[in-house]
Structure 1
């Protein structure tokens, strides 16, 4: 396999824009808007170039590259800190219990409350894999490479990491959750609101949305049925997040009702299990353990799958292709985690 993850460059804009056009909408972190994508690449360059190892609202953007052809076939992102320069809104679903003595009954009603509980967290998002490459572990490589980057630069990230998954939409790109709730206050369709949010942020939500809790039972069944449910195309992503230790704690996206899952940063499986290993050289056979390996700091970061053998000195022998893609040699140090 000749695919690797590397830090994005501003010259990746044409490929990034072509991928954004394939998302089908509802993908806030990868809108098909030329100016927004160019700004993302510029912001990512600033994040990779920033000195110091403290947490900030950096954006780290990565590309999945075919090392041989140089074709870009996927992308993913990490946000160093959400809610620093603008509020980060979620709906929190909770249960309100009330008892009527006259009726002799207890009523338990679910409510949605607008909150900013997740501010200060880091976020993984913006993962997109070209439809023709959705096999061979490339989605897992995209997703998990971010955790190796986080471990490499742990002080730059918060105590908790979140991931927002796209919610359920109909074939026309409309969200039953939006249509039943926020759409009634904004006079905008979901595609219009989602595009506005991708470019301008969520402050308009705070300006116009009611601050009172919303009773779930007052929403139509079409909206209730999708609360906390990922889009069908996001189910595999949810399973990968759950395998890393992410859980749903009743936070949902304010636009489409999709689930927001969280995990303590140091308890994410790939962060917890990844180890630094000295490279002893390469091996020519195809034996060894399949591992995800990474090297490089900030803008020089690169990751790939490798066949790894551990020699008698405890050093890693990598297959020659992985050595080439990571540009490492004997004596260098890599970070590695089992598949």
Structure 2
């Protein structure tokens, strides 16, 4: 079985919808609404075929597929420039220090400030892998393939890339952060707000969210405890982001308080470590001795531009600009001798 990452197609809507229903909530970029997902897929298809090499309001949606079996196991997305259609809101944690001479004391207050600082950044998000496929490095394949796509279409993306991690959600599907902050102003539950945002965008936040700072000390303990804390299922994702040089710069999601990680796009580790080459030979994968003798290394390999982009694991040996790859990977990615590929150590 060979898994490949490829651009989403119109016929993928049903399996993506089934995955969206199983997320458990809090996945704004993957709402369990077939109409919304269909519109997103159509928008993605238009982005893949758009003529031009500049940053635009593109969304690129991918699926992890076993095309031979006709099964989709995961999905992920890239938003070329956030804040194009609606403002991109975050809370930025800052501090206010005040001193009283009479008391002889200095007080420091941590504050949540509503911010659109991150508008114009590229966002990687919407990553979901079916529980039955969470092994063999498939999560890394999903996540890192996006960075390869960004690298090989660099002019279409911003100089800063961000990733929003889902925040803490309790067993009942409620968000302690939402209940302690925004929920007090919106008159709707976290599930209702999250679903509305996924379907309609977040303009309602601009209409209703108070613009004044929120003093963290005035929030209930339950809300304070989850600020900047990822959901338990997102801790591995946070480690993967840190390994790619993403850092937390005190921005949190206004819905669930989850951390927003960011990085200079060209400093993403996968982008820095990727090499290019031309296929000089294709080695039979069944001949394991030949692969061992050739000192081939397991790599993440991609080829093709825009709608022809494909990515998969394979075996590679590089000799200057010439590379050897294994036959199964070559077949999966539709490659022949003389084709160009990009590749990076599996990690």
- The TM-score normalised by the length of structure 2 is 0.96
Q: How far apart, in 2, do the equivalents of 1:59 and 1:4 lie?
A: 20
**Contact persistence 1:67–1:325 (CA under 8 A):** no
CA deviation after TM superposition for structure 1 residue 69, in Å:
1.0
Is the partner of 1:27 in helix, strand or coil? coil
Deviations 1:301-332 (A, max 9, x none): 00001111224x64211111100111011100
The corresponding residue for 1:310 is 318
CA deviation after TM superposition for structure 1 residue 67, in Å:
3.6
Q: List runs of 5+ in structure 1 lacking aligned partners.
A: none
2:182 aligned with 1:174: no
**Contact persistence 2:276–2:321 (CA under 8 A):** no
Q: How far apart, in 1, do the equivalents of 2:84 and 2:172 lie?
A: 34
**Contact persistence 1:95–1:110 (CA under 8 A):** yes
The corresponding residue for 1:275 is 275
The corresponding residue for 2:157 is 157
2:211 aligned with 1:211: yes
CA deviation after TM superposition for structure 1 residue 281, in Å:
1.9
Deviations 1:130-189 (A, max 9, x none): 000101000000000000000110000001000000000101110000000100001100
Deviations 1:216-247 (A, max 9, x none): 00001111110000000011111111100100
**Contact persistence 2:228–2:250 (CA under 8 A):** yes
The corresponding residue for 1:225 is 225
Deviations 1:63-88 (A, max 9, x none): 00014312100000000100112100
For residues 184-199 of structure 1, what are the structure 2 equivalents within 5 Å? 184-199=184-199
| Equivalent in 294, 303, 310 of residue 295 of structure 1 | 303
Q: How far apart, in 1, do the equivalents of 2:73 and 2:63 lie?
A: 8
Is the partner of 1:113 in helix, strand or coil? strand
Q: How far apart, in 1, do the equivalents of 2:72 and 2:85 lie?
A: 31
The corresponding residue for 1:334 is 341
Q: How far apart, in 2, do the equivalents of 1:2 and 1:316 lie?
A: 20
**Contact persistence 2:124–2:162 (CA under 8 A):** yes
The corresponding residue for 2:124 is 124
Q: How far apart, in 2, do the equivalents of 1:68 and 1:37 lie?
A: 24
CA deviation after TM superposition for structure 1 residue 9, in Å:
0.5
Q: How far apart, in 1, do the equivalents of 2:226 and 2:205 lie?
A: 20
The corresponding residue for 1:136 is 136
CA deviation after TM superposition for structure 1 residue 273, in Å:
1.6
Deviations 1:246-284 (A, max 9, x none): 000000000000000000001101112212111112112
The corresponding residue for 1:266 is 266
How many residues end up aligned between the 2 structures? 338
CA deviation after TM superposition for structure 1 residue 22, in Å:
1.0
Q: How far apart, in 1, do the equivalents of 2:196 and 2:85 lie?
A: 18
Q: How far apart, in 1, do the equivalents of 2:245 and 2:66 lie?
A: 29
The corresponding residue for 2:237 is 237
The corresponding residue for 1:109 is 109
2:41 aligned with 1:26: no
Deviations 1:37-79 (A, max 9, x none): 0001000011001001100110000000014312100000000
Kindly report structure 1 stretches of 4+ aligned residues shifted beyond 6 Å: none
The corresponding residue for 2:72 is 72
